Structure formats: C-alpha cells, structure tokens
Structure 1
Amino acid sequence: MADTYNRRERPAKPALSRDGIVATALAVMRSEGMEKVTMRRLAKELDTGPASLYVYVKDTEELHAAMLDELLGGVELDPGPDGDWRARLWRVMTSYRRVLFDHPGLARVALVARLSGPNYLAVIEAVLARLAEGGMPRAQAGWTVDLLMLVATASAVEQGTRRASGAAADHDLMISALLGASAQTYPNIAAHAVELTGGPAASRSRWMFDVLLSGAFGTPTPGEGDLP
C-alpha cells in the first residue's frame, strides 16, 4: 500500500516534445559545453530512455540543427530605417554572425548541415529583402545570399572557435611569422607584411562584405551552356 501511495503522490513527468528536447539540449550546452549534448545525457535530464527521444528527432545531427535554428531566433531581422540598403543588410549579417560567434560549437553545424528551420528561413528572407531593395537581379541575389551566409558563417566559426579554445597565442605566432618573414625567401610576404596583418577585424569584415556585394552586382550568373 505504501508503494502505491508513493507512486500516486510522485509528480508526473512532463510530456516529451521536440521543443522540450531542444530547450534541454540548449541548457546543457550553455552550462557544460556542446560535447555534453548527447542523446543519453538528454534522456537522463528528461527522465526517460534515449529511444524515446528519437520519436521527436531522428538523430544527433537533426538535434543540432534544431538547436541552431532556435538560437537563430535571436537574429535582428529588422535593421531599422537608418542608412542605405547596404548598411541595413550589414546589420542583419552582423547580428547573424554574432549569434554564431557566441556559440562556436553549433556554428560549425551551419557549415555542413542543410538548415531548413523557420528561423533560418527568416534570416534568408531578410537578406533577400535587402538585396531586392538594392536592386540586385533575382538570379544574382539567389546566389549572393548563399555566398554571404557562407562567408559570415565561416568567419564566425573561425573567430568563435579561436576564442573558445584560447588560441590567441597561435594567432600571435602567425602574425610574428608573417612580420618576420625573410625578404629573400618570401619577397611577396615581406612586401605585404603590414597589409597582411593590419586593420581591425571589424573593418576587414565590412570590406569583405562590400567586395562580395560589388562583385555580385558586376558578375551575371552563367547560363547552363556557359560553364566549361
């Protein structure tokens, strides 16, 4: 009788859901790191068996993509009225990159996964809207958004991973190697050493952004018979 009474008094477990699994995974990631986000660990947190989770997410890759999409809900999609269309697009891309920079473990997912969640699509929609505002032809805009997202993602992964791993010493070593390169052995590196290592990271990122846009406007997409 006592066991029956205790079971009745025990609070019921919350019902499993995809949103609940993703929220738990994000909580584990924030408190202990991405490497601790496993199906076994989530099952323990949710007081269930790992097999139960696969009803809602088919594998770890899908879970990671869902986690990333949840975080992308924090991207500022409305850049406001200030500045021209390029400035507004830059604010959207900067916000996207900042979300990834803050979560380098998940940012790497964006490089390899085929994302399709609603928040990711909302980012694509916002970028395309700014390109259309700038008058970019649809054919070029469709390819440009892919290029912009790729460069922003790769940049966030590089910088975020470097910060998380404490690789500042490696970066300093690289800078010293470039600045100290022998003009006899590496004449071009020596001639461009200041340019290779100079300039704030933010200025370099904005320059890269402007180069991509200018190049996209001036480079029509090839037709099916134009490629070798």
Structure 2
Amino acid sequence: MVGNDNIRVPVSRRERPAKPALTRHGIIEAALAILRAEGLSRVTMRRIAAALDTGPASLYVYVHNTEDLHAQVLDALLAPVVTAVPGTGSWRVRLKALLAGYRDILFQHPEIARMALSTQPSGPNYMALGDRILGLLVEGGVSDRAAAWGLDLLLLYPTAIAVENGSQKSATQKADDLTALAARVAAADATRYPHVARLGEEIVSGSGPERADWTLDVLLDGILAAGPPISAG
C-alpha cells in the first residue's frame, strides 16, 4: 500500500520542553536579575512568576511574601562579603573592612538598604555576617553583652548611610546641597547660634570616608567602654 505524503500527523500540544523545576535558588536568581535590570520595585511575585513561566501562587511554597523575597535577595547579595575580609590586620581593621563590604553592597542597591531598615534579615549570609562581627568584637576584648547589643548599632550605621546616599538626586545636586549647607552654616548669626557660628568650619569639614571611619571608631570605642546596662529601678 502506497502512503500518502500529504497526510498530516497530529502533534500533541503537550509535547513541549518541560519547564525547569521551581527552587528557592532559582527564584532568588530570577529576582536578582530583575533587581539589576529594573530595580527593587519590580521585584514582585507576579514579575518573577512571569520570568519563570509559572503562576505567582507557585512561588509561595518557597517565599512567604514580597518582604521575605526582598530579604532573601539581600542575603544573596551578601554572599561574598564575609569571605572578602582580609585575614590579617588588627581586629578593628578587619571589622571596618567587613562593615565596608556590607556598606558597599547597600550603596550599589539603595532600595535594598531602605528595605533593610524596616525588615529584619535572617538568612544564612546575614547570620554569617553577624557572627563574624561578634567574633571580631570578642577578639577585641568587648564583653559579651556589649558585643551582642553593639551588633545592631554597627549594622545600622552603614545601612542608614546607604539610605542617605541613595537618594534620587544626582551627584551634582548632592554637591550643591552640601555647598548650600556650608554657606548657611558660615552665615549663621553668632548671637542666635553661637556654637554653630564658632564651629562652622568643623561642622562641614572632612570627607565622607574620613567621617565614616571616625564614626566607626566612636562606636567601637563606646562599645569597648560599655559596662552593664543601668537598671531602670
């Protein structure tokens, strides 16, 4: 029997390549790609689901909500921070390098910094960061209570600086704001604002890195000197 070459063989529409299985790692990788290309505001369940060719409901098996998603994105960004800290130098030098690495990640992603002010991250990389900070404080002779309580202060400072630095203003606008501030301070009425007038030059002195380094020294010196908490009674 001669076959008919014109006969069309039906093809099942189900025979398409299978989608990769959803995983927490895959979801975070998709979120990071969207963050870098479109910003944190676009890192939503719906947007990630579209990128992974699935429904938003499928993501909730691995991520509780958008806040949890953003916290996990921050944790993923922190992966290289701890390993990049130099193995030599004083405990203070290494601690400053560790905090600088954390700050630099937040400087690159100011929207993440704003999120970190209102959300408490607790992923493995953030925990490793905290553990390394505590270890360096203990190495420096800080008491256990002061180290435990000082951890929040040391993480809050670079986070707040990153939020401040991450405003939508251009570098030129920020420089203009500083120039205007210096002019107002210099013109302060010595009668109404005697201390501002006297210390005006000092108020606006110092570069960003110099002031940041000084602030960390103040925090570390205070944590070193801290005694037991004073009883409210």
Q: 2:141–2:224: 8 Å Cα contact kept in structure 1? A: no
1:68 corresponds to which residue?
A: 74
Of 127, 131, 136, the residue aligned with 1:130 is: 136
Amino acid at match of 2:151: V
Q: 1:97–1:152: 8 Å Cα contact kept in structure 2? A: yes
Superposed, 1:1-228 pairs within 5 Å as 2-4=10-12, 6-8=13-15, 10-77=16-83, 79-159=85-165, 161-162=166-167, 164-166=168-170, 167-168=173-174, 169-222=176-229, 226-228=231-233
Amino acid at match of 1:215: G
Report percent identity of matched pairs.
44
What is the CA-CA distance between 1:197 and the residue it aligns to? 0.9
What count of residue pairs does the alignment treat as equivalent?
Answer: 222
Find the residue that maps to 1:212 and give its secondary structure: helix
Separation in 2 of the partners of 1:171 and 1:25? 36
Q: Tell me which stretches of 4 or more aligned residues in structure 1 moved more than 6 Å.
A: none
**What is the TM-score of this pair, normalised by structure 1?**
0.89
Separation in 2 of the partners of 1:182 and 1:77? 51
What is the CA-CA distance between 1:183 and the residue it aligns to? 2.9
Larger Rg: 2
Q: 1:77–1:126: 8 Å Cα contact kept in structure 2? A: no
Amino acid at match of 2:221: S
Greater percentage in helix: 1
Deviation per CA, 1:86-106, whole angstroms, max 9, x where unpaired? 111111111111111111111
Q: Which runs of 5+ in 2 are unaligned?
A: 1-8
Separation in 2 of the partners of 1:80 and 1:38? 36
Change (3 A) 1:27 1:210: same
Q: Which runs of 5+ in 1 are unaligned?
A: none
What is the CA-CA distance between 1:3 and the residue it aligns to? 4.7
